[in-house]
Structure 1
Amino acid sequence: MSVSNSKSIPNQSLIGTFTEITKFRLSVSVVFSSVAGYLLGADSIDFFVLFLLCVGGYCMVGASNVYNQIIEKDLDALMDRTKNRPLPAGQMTVRSAFILAIVLTVLGIAVLYSINPITAMFGAISIFMYVSLYTPLKTKTPLSVFVGAFPGAIPFMLGWVAVTGEFGIEPGTLFMIQFFWQFPHFWAIGWFLYDDYKKAGFFMLPNGKRDKGTAIQVILYTIWTVLISLIPVLGITGKLYLTPLSASLIGVLGVGLLYYAIRLYKEKTSVAAKQLMLASVSYITLLQIIYVADKFLR
């Protein structure tokens, strides 16, 4: 990987550039979801397979992020939030970024394939949908969030598929939880970053506006997210089960998430949207922890 010196930020390290262009924090959060899914599906933990899942998962997410930034390089330069990313800031050439993306893609698919073919297949689908469908649709239609929710929901169920080698009701439920969760999460982001997104022509809100209609949809999808999160307590999702105590804890988290969704509806401010975004991150993280703890402690 070569780094351009013509516009590079002083003291910008290769590691710093790598973590920035692969969106380290986002990628780690995605890997965390996959690990949670693995632990939920495992009868016994194979730490080598878990390691492979982490490496393969990071490569796949990192590759998606690099492809995304290559495609949106000129648009990223227009937004305050993204103008200092490696490509628009000149810390890395497009050629170097493309080589990195290809290496991460091949390595990611190979590592996931070594676990089992279906895991590699879902990883490849995730990259394809994120790069070829979600990314170009962001400047064309608010439906991009719907399309992007598919690859975004794969990681949680990918861990289960990695340990079982098959797709069924259990990983399907994990997929649906993270699928519906993404709507209030990304619409909240789209709301408080509305002006910045507008500079690049991104359409992220369902109505295209920060209005009552968008806020109502945020509430509806929040309710769906919480309800789907509680389905395993009914004992109808195969080996994926949730005890009443853990379901109660998730219910409390859900009430908190719904509170911030309703608050956005009432206030319609960027501050309320940012609070909802933070609440949504807390919700999905704590949900995954509760699910895993419930399995191993009961």
Structure 2
Amino acid sequence: MNVHYCECGCKYNTIFLITKQFSFFFNFNSNKILWLFNKNGISLQKFLKLEVDSVSSVHTKTSIKSIVKDFKQLTKVGLSISVVFTSITGYLLGAESINYTTIILLALGGYLMVGASNAFNQVIEKDIDAVMQRTKNRPLPSGRMSATVALIIATLFTVAGIAILYVIDPKCALFGAISIFLYTSAYTPLKAVTPLAVFVGAIPGAIPFMLGWVAATGKFGIEAGFLFMIQFFWQFPHFWAIGWLQFEEYNKAGLHMLPMDKKDKGAVVQIIFYTCIMILMSIAPVLKVTGDFYIYPITAVIILLLGVLMLYYAIQLYKTEKNTDARKLMLASVFYITIVPIIYVVDKFLH
């Protein structure tokens, strides 16, 4: 409804006529409304403008909040930050002296690379995400963001991330590029083909810990290799626990996220097996077979106990085959990969 204001000064006429028509229903006289406005020196035109501006402001704030939320979902901010944390601990393990500029560049470059991988992944899997309850409200399947916008964000993140990592060391940029390529071009499409996809996905997933060491030393040696292997083998119990919890949804979407595509004891046997390998890799530095990366015996014992906790939940899952135990295993794995790098760093600074 448009309100027109005439030049002869009778700007209240239209409002008067409208309110007059509704006075029967609301039991008021429109003259009283105009009298109240005049008495208080309020311009009706100004009043209406304030109301429109208020609504517009609320709408703008809501839109900005929605855009930020979608951006965070597209790039998976929580996951990106956890990867940055792992990279920084790898840097602290390898650095003889701390360069804060390098840490900032590593954090920013690592965040951009992970964000790019996640964005590319959601573009590729937008139709699959639309099928699953857990992912159908993501920006692309819900229609809140176009694939073109997501691709632009992913591309900008990739270029910026590689450039920043290159400033640290060309090898860092190379590993970052390999990570994005394997995640988006191999792991993501393979999930719809074979359960072996998780082994491919574990490669880019294991790069961040190693990347930090390379950023600190400029070298890719046995130390960086062991950090890679620790995170590589950790991913199997972690992601298979998630695959167990989300098995029905993954199966409906045609994704192969458990060994042999079966939610049974056979899958848990593999979880137990790779958990044991992860534990052995994690305590191997106590034997001083990992170059400059070694730990005290007491540190190895603490890490062993944390690994046994994960193993306990894996065995419980074998016994019960219940989702509750799979969830406990998944949470234990998150706790493990968060605490173990910190323990390594503390051990190093006690040397």
TM, length-normalised to structure 2: 0.81
Distance in 1 (CA, whole Å) between partners of 2:332 and 2:253 is 27
Equivalence for 1:128: 181
Q: Deviations over 1:56-95 (max 9, x none)?
A: 0000000000000000001001001101111111221111
Equivalence for 1:4: none
Q: Deviations over 1:193-229 (max 9, x none)?
A: 1011112110010121111111111100000000100
Partner SS state of residue 306, structure 2:
helix
Which residue, 125, 131, 136 being the options, matches 1:78? Answer: 131
1:34 corresponds to which letter in structure 2? S
2:235 corresponds to which letter in structure 1? Q
Distance in 2 (CA, whole Å) between partners of 1:107 and 1:188 is 34
Equivalence for 1:96: 149
Q: Deviations over 1:143-179 (max 9, x none)?
A: 0000000000000000000111110000000000000
Distance in 2 (CA, whole Å) between partners of 1:10 and 1:19 is 14
Aligned pairs for 1:54-69 (under 5 A) are 54-69=107-122
Equivalence for 2:318: 265
Runs of 4+ displaced beyond 3 Å: 9-12
TM-align CA RMSD: 1.1
Equivalence for 1:5: none
Q: Deviations over 1:3-34 (max 9, x none)?
A: xxxxxx97743222211100011111111110
2:170 corresponds to which letter in structure 1? P
Equivalence for 1:237: 290
Partner SS state of residue 198, structure 1:
helix
Shift in Å, 1:295: 0.6
Higher relative contact order (CA 8 A, sep 6+): 1
State the number of aligned residues: 290
1:248 maps to 2:301: yes
Structure 2 gap segments, 5+ residues each:
1-61
Distance in 2 (CA, whole Å) between partners of 1:84 and 1:256 is 35
Equivalence for 1:112: 165
Equivalence for 1:177: 230
Distance in 1 (CA, whole Å) between partners of 2:244 and 2:286 is 33
Larger Rg: 2
Equivalence for 2:265: 212
Structure 1 gap segments, 5+ residues each:
1-8
Structure 1 range deviating more: 109-118 or 17-26: 17-26
Distance in 1 (CA, whole Å) between partners of 2:276 and 2:167 is 38
Distance in 2 (CA, whole Å) between partners of 1:15 and 1:242 is 42
